[in-house]
Amino acid sequence: MAKKLTKRIVSWATVFFVITLLFCICNAINGCADIEEQKAKVIEYRDGRPRPARLDLPLQVSESLTPRYLRCEYLVNPLGIDVVRPRFSWIVDSGQRGQKQTAYRILVSGSEEKVNADIGDFWDSGKVVSDQTNHIVYIGKQLNSRMRCYWKVKVWDKDGKESQWSDKAYWTMGLLANEDWKAKWIGYDTSSLNEHTELHLPPSPYLRKDFSVSGKIKRATVYVSALGLFELSINGQRVGSDWFTPGWTNYNKRVYYLTYDVTDMLKQGSNSAGAILSNGWYAGYVGFALLTNYPKPRAIYGQVPALLGQLEIEYEDGSREVVVTDENWKVSTGPIRESDILMGETYDGRKEIDGWERSGFNDKRWLSAALFGKAKGVIEAYPSVRVKTTGEIRPVEITEPNKGVYVFNMGQNFAGRVRLKVKGDAGTKIRLRFAEMLHKDGNIMTENLRKARATDTYICRGTGKEKIWEPKFTYHGFQYVEVTGYPGRPSLDAVTGIVLGSDTPAAGYFECSNDMLNKLYSNITWTQRANFFEVPTDCPQRDERMGWTGDAQIYIRSATCNMDVASFFTKWFVDLADDQLASGAYPDYAPRPYRHKRDYSPAWTDAGIICPYTIYKVYGDKRVIENQYESMQKFMDFQTGRSVDFIHTTTDGWGDWLSFGGETPKDLISTVYFAYDAKLMAEMAAAIGKKADVRRYGELFDNIKEAFVKKYVSSEGRIEGDTQTCYALALYMDLLDENLRAEAAKRLVELLKENNWHLATGFLGVKHLLPVLTETGHTDIAYRLLTNTTFPSWGYSVVNGSTTIWERWNSYTIDEGFASPGMNSFSHYAFGSVCQWMFASMAGIDTDGAGFKRIIIRPQPGGSGISYAKASYDSINGLIELGWQIEGDKFTLEVTIPANTTAIVYVPALSEGAVTEGDVQAGRAEGVKFLRIVEGVAVYKVESGNYKFVSRGAQVTK
């Protein structure tokens, strides 16, 4: 195993080397060929690419089974949850082939002492004969507000051998009842203190309160929420490391609170709590409201941000004290003069208030906080991973396109902001503007930001000392930072990139022999990091950043390959259901602060089915189905209601958005998705035992399929519209029977050929194109499309210097320059949905059934000169690793199947006899069972463990 770890480190070094090399062969967009300048120097975030988080944990070397990575509701040691039947999961590791869990025992205790003494006073599951390691529902003592729960698990292996107890884990319960809240919503209406005219950007309210602590503190916990955004401090120290709290919801229906343990932040005697608020999504500018002249371009949910906080102190002697937000808090304004997610932040150092967040500060001149009544919606515990700083980036170059205008190139497009280092005289005003691209003259290209001002301003206080400043309540999508007003010429370290995003644990890794594809993969993951930002956004830079449903449904399966997004989407499903329309349709984006052109669009609205289904499928999560079921049924009734003889006749919708081909009929798109929804509903109904619905939705699918073929498909397999997307959708969604399938696939290939072997799909076709080519025996063409570097293709952007996935195939072309600035994001994940195929078919990792309990290992080598691929995927059942290689007529497949799972492994082979595993014929190897050989591929059932298959004479071409 140590060897394995070294191998991993080496392979990471190789990846970094490969990326570096790649930068060296890519030309920057404006013809700049100087590669060193393009090299992103990423610090702190490993080598800039996500890798499975659990690789950081010590790996198991023992032969027997050991449980680790204990999680409760997908989170490690969460504080303040409000799920009263939380679910547990863990991973079992073993170095032994075929090892599996046959039983488990969970202990949950109300104290650390008890759990240490193996006393499960809350719940002792006893020995449960089961191989289940995730989504195990707690059925112990009723959980009430504030309870602390410690837990651990032991397992029995295949031989009945009992493991040690795992390390202990814990969770705490939040405030479950409304009556638990003694705090009041407070705030300070600063909306008339706006210093600017063109935009309405009131200063941030500052709030404070001194309180005293006397007695030995056992524990102190703070529960805190805001309408808008908050930053809380205790005795001048920031509470937690989360940003953009408490997140974005439909605040009319719900608002989340967060829970932090602040025991170590308090001291005997006088203490102080301070908070800064910002308008955030609640009261700030949201999306394109300003651009589209929506009557309320800002303050859509409410006018003034408000804070709700409750600090509960438990003393050693059993007594308690509660400090709450109420009218006794004092309010003022401070140095944050403007703060808005889209517009940016302005900080005036001259308005700093020394000591305001410490006790003893004289706040006599501060006003009393205003009370804000109740929140309109329910208050619930934040259910997911939070937005965090996930990395730092050093700029690679400074240019000065105009006198005194400095442009920092960060070398990587990302979402976040910068930390500024400066020493200046009082009143020196430094302005930072952000952009993804440069114009030919070296100036930043901001046209594509539309109405997002994306400008941060820092005004020096003039202390004579160097100051470090980072805004708190804004973020931008950018690669370039324009700095003006800097005193003198800034050095490279005047600016540091701060990468922000929802802290979804890294889960995937991909590498192959084609450098362009490695860069493409890096671009995909960076785009995901930039857009998994509280909600799955379309883009991080312009005045949009909305949870567009179509983008999410297209990309979600790819997202799962790279990061563990189970908890992230679980939160978003609540947003989706909260903003489901009265008709039953899911909106174009969720949360949905306002209506845009239409209420919903085919293929966007279907995210309400496809996304929960994907989370179920990838993580085996049935609760997601249960939670969403009613809402999904309502949606299906809506879909049925608008169909005529199982066909949707609509001509409305976004269509195959941004396609480069002919138009795919919108009624066809809508009908195809209707069928797909029915199919997925039948499968989900089966998963939760709703038999009648399995039949009902199964029949619905059959009926739509029949009607679809009748209406849209000719006897030669021609589909109305005759676009690549028409065929990709119909084939992927299983709407054609065998004979028509073959014909349709043939036609798709013809279309590709007619298009000089280039894709022409928009958002909707792109995800399905390569999978259907592979399913219909055209993997070679899939590779050809994937490795293309001529326009339009994935590779075109890569060889033209991209570091993220672009919104449009022609976002930038050598001939035409930038596409229409009105809609031209350089960080849009939809076209990155090819990642799904890269994992499932190119590397060959997929799930058979739900939750990667049965794994499919099916590498599909197929040409375009690719001689090897490596991938890993940290599934809910453990880490799957794989590497295949072609050397002459030898095909090698190394694979790790996690303990307690099995895999069906496909090895290209002439005959069974031509395949070895280790030193023996594969079918005879320990843990391997030969099943069959079909069309040049030997198929094995494989138990958990590490394997090396070698197939000689297999007809595999690079």
Query: Does the footprint of ligand BGC cover residue 654 (CB under 6 A)?
Result: yes
Residue whose C-alpha is closest to residue 467's, from 338, 335, 296:
335
**Residue 138 or 654 with smaller CB distance to ligand BGC:** 654
Least distance in angstroms from the C-beta of 735 to ligand BGC: 24
Query: Does the footprint of ligand BGC cover residue 673 (CB under 6 A)?
Result: no
Query: Does the footprint of ligand BGC cover residue 593 (CB under 6 A)?
Result: no
**Residue 654 or 697 with smaller CB distance to ligand BGC:** 654
Least distance in angstroms from the C-beta of 227 to ligand BGC: 27
Least distance in angstroms from the C-beta of 806 to ligand BGC: 12
Least distance in angstroms from the C-beta of 604 to ligand BGC: 7
Query: Does the footprint of ligand BGC cover residue 548 (CB under 6 A)?
Result: yes
Here the tokens at position 484 are: 């003006």
Least distance in angstroms from the C-beta of 297 to ligand BGC: 17
Query: Does the footprint of ligand BGC cover residue 829 (CB under 6 A)?
Result: no
Q: Using DSSP, state whether 812 is helix, strand or coil.
A: strand
Residue whose C-alpha is closest to residue 275's, from 187, 206, 365, 367:
206
Beta strands 915-917 and 217-227: pairing type? unpaired
**Residue 408 or 532 with smaller CB distance to ligand BGC:** 532
Here the tokens at position 486 are: 């800097």
Is 314 labeled as catalytic in the residue annotation?
no
User: Which member of 338, 345, 551, 621 binds ligand BGC (CB under 6 A)?
Assistant: 551
Question: Which x/- pattern over 766-805 shows residues binding ligand BGC (rule: CB under 6 A)?
Answer: ----------------------------------------
3-class SS letters over 851-878: CCCEEEECCCCCCCCCCEEEEEEEECCE
**Residue 505 or 550 with smaller CB distance to ligand BGC:** 550
Give the residue carrying structure tokens 């324009």.
482
- Distance separating the N- and C-terminal Cα atoms of the chain: 31
Least distance in angstroms from the C-beta of 362 to ligand BGC: 50
Question: Which x/- pattern over 689-728 shows residues binding ligand BGC (rule: CB under 6 A)?
Answer: ----------------------------------------
Stretch that binds ligand BGC, among 121-129, 138-146, 538-546, 668-676 (CB under 6 A): 538-546
**Residue 544 or 677 with smaller CB distance to ligand BGC:** 544
Query: Does the footprint of ligand BGC cover residue 340 (CB under 6 A)?
Result: no
**Residue 548 or 783 with smaller CB distance to ligand BGC:** 548
User: Which member of 340, 503, 544, 693 binds ligand BGC (CB under 6 A)?
Assistant: 544
Quote the CA–CA distance of 145 and 173 in Å, as a whole number: 5
334 in the Ramachandran plot: left (φ > 0), alpha (ψ -120 to 50) or beta?
beta
Quote the CA–CA distance of 688 and 762 in Å, as a whole number: 34
Query: Does the footprint of ligand BGC cover residue 511 (CB under 6 A)?
Result: no
Least distance in angstroms from the C-beta of 451 to ligand BGC: 13
Centre a 10 Å sphere on the Cβ of residue 267 and count the other Cβ atoms it contains. 12
Query: Does the footprint of ligand BGC cover residue 561 (CB under 6 A)?
Result: no
**Residue 538 or 912 with smaller CB distance to ligand BGC:** 538
φ, ψ dihedrals at 648, nearest 5°:
-90, 130
Stretch that binds ligand BGC, among 67-75, 537-545, 688-696, 853-861 (CB under 6 A): 537-545
**Residue 190 or 531 with smaller CB distance to ligand BGC:** 531
- Name residue 823's amino acid: M
State the DSSP code for 540: S
Least distance in angstroms from the C-beta of 435 to ligand BGC: 18
On the 0-12 / 13-18 / 19+ scale of CB atoms within 10 A, 953 is middle
What is each CA distance from 951 to 614, 890, 922, 926, in whole angstroms? 34, 6, 9, 17
Stretch that binds ligand BGC, among 95-103, 236-244, 542-550, 908-916 (CB under 6 A): 542-550
Query: Does the footprint of ligand BGC cover residue 657 (CB under 6 A)?
Result: yes
Stretch that binds ligand BGC, among 64-72, 544-552, 697-705, 747-755 (CB under 6 A): 544-552
**Residue 550 or 851 with smaller CB distance to ligand BGC:** 550
Query: Does the footprint of ligand BGC cover residue 533 (CB under 6 A)?
Result: no
Stretch that binds ligand BGC, among 44-52, 299-307, 372-380, 547-555 (CB under 6 A): 547-555
Query: Does the footprint of ligand BGC cover residue 539 (CB under 6 A)?
Result: yes
Stretch that binds ligand BGC, among 543-551, 558-566, 692-700, 715-723 (CB under 6 A): 543-551
Here the tokens at position 623 are: 């609760």
Least distance in angstroms from the C-beta of 593 to ligand BGC: 15
- Name residue 355's amino acid: G
φ, ψ dihedrals at 492, nearest 5°:
-55, -30
CB 211 within 8 A of CB 323: yes
- Which is catalytic among the residues 482, 544, 743, 881? 544
Quote the CA–CA distance of 798 and 63 in Å, as a whole number: 45
**Total of chain residues touching ligand BGC, rule CB under 6 A:** 10
Q: Angle at which helices 738-754 and 763-775 pack, to 10 degrees?
A: 120
Beta strands 437-438 and 217-227: pairing type? unpaired
Least distance in angstroms from the C-beta of 508 to ligand BGC: 23
**Residue 518 or 558 with smaller CB distance to ligand BGC:** 558
Query: Does the footprint of ligand BGC cover residue 550 (CB under 6 A)?
Result: yes
Least distance in angstroms from the C-beta of 812 to ligand BGC: 17
Query: Does the footprint of ligand BGC cover residue 290 (CB under 6 A)?
Result: no
- Which is catalytic among the residues 534, 807, 912, 943? 807
Q: Angle at which helices 666-687 and 622-641 pack, to 10 degrees?
A: 140
Residue whose C-alpha is closest to residue 431's, from 493, 503, 481:
481
Stretch that binds ligand BGC, among 149-157, 330-338, 374-382, 548-556 (CB under 6 A): 548-556
Query: Does the footprint of ligand BGC cover residue 806 (CB under 6 A)?
Result: no
Stretch that binds ligand BGC, among 218-226, 243-251, 512-520, 545-553 (CB under 6 A): 545-553
Quote the CA–CA distance of 677 and 791 in Å, as a whole number: 33
CB 79 within 8 A of CB 386: no
Query: Does the footprint of ligand BGC cover residue 819 (CB under 6 A)?
Result: no
State the DSSP code for 329: S
| Neighbour order of strands in the sheet with 902-908 | 845-848, 854-857, 902-908, 937-942, 928-934
Query: Does the footprint of ligand BGC cover residue 621 (CB under 6 A)?
Result: no
Quote the CA–CA distance of 592 and 294 in Å, as a whole number: 13
CB 807 within 8 A of CB 539: yes
**Residue 538 or 564 with smaller CB distance to ligand BGC:** 538
CB 126 within 8 A of CB 114: no
**Residue 223 or 654 with smaller CB distance to ligand BGC:** 654
Query: Does the footprint of ligand BGC cover residue 538 (CB under 6 A)?
Result: yes
On the 0-12 / 13-18 / 19+ scale of CB atoms within 10 A, 256 is buried
Residue whose C-alpha is closest to residue 724's, from 685, 690, 701, 753:
753
Is 397 labeled as catalytic in the residue annotation?
no
162 in the Ramachandran plot: left (φ > 0), alpha (ψ -120 to 50) or beta?
beta
Q: Which residues within the stretch 38-57 sit at the binding site for ligand BGC (CB under 6 A)?
A: none
- Please count the residues of the chain: 958
**Residue 548 or 837 with smaller CB distance to ligand BGC:** 548
- Name residue 898's amino acid: P
Least distance in angstroms from the C-beta of 808 to ligand BGC: 10
829-835-841 Cα angle (round to 5) = 160
Residues that are catalytic? 544, 807
Write out the residues near ligand BGC by the rule CB under 6 A.
538-539, 544, 548, 550-551, 654, 657, 823, 828
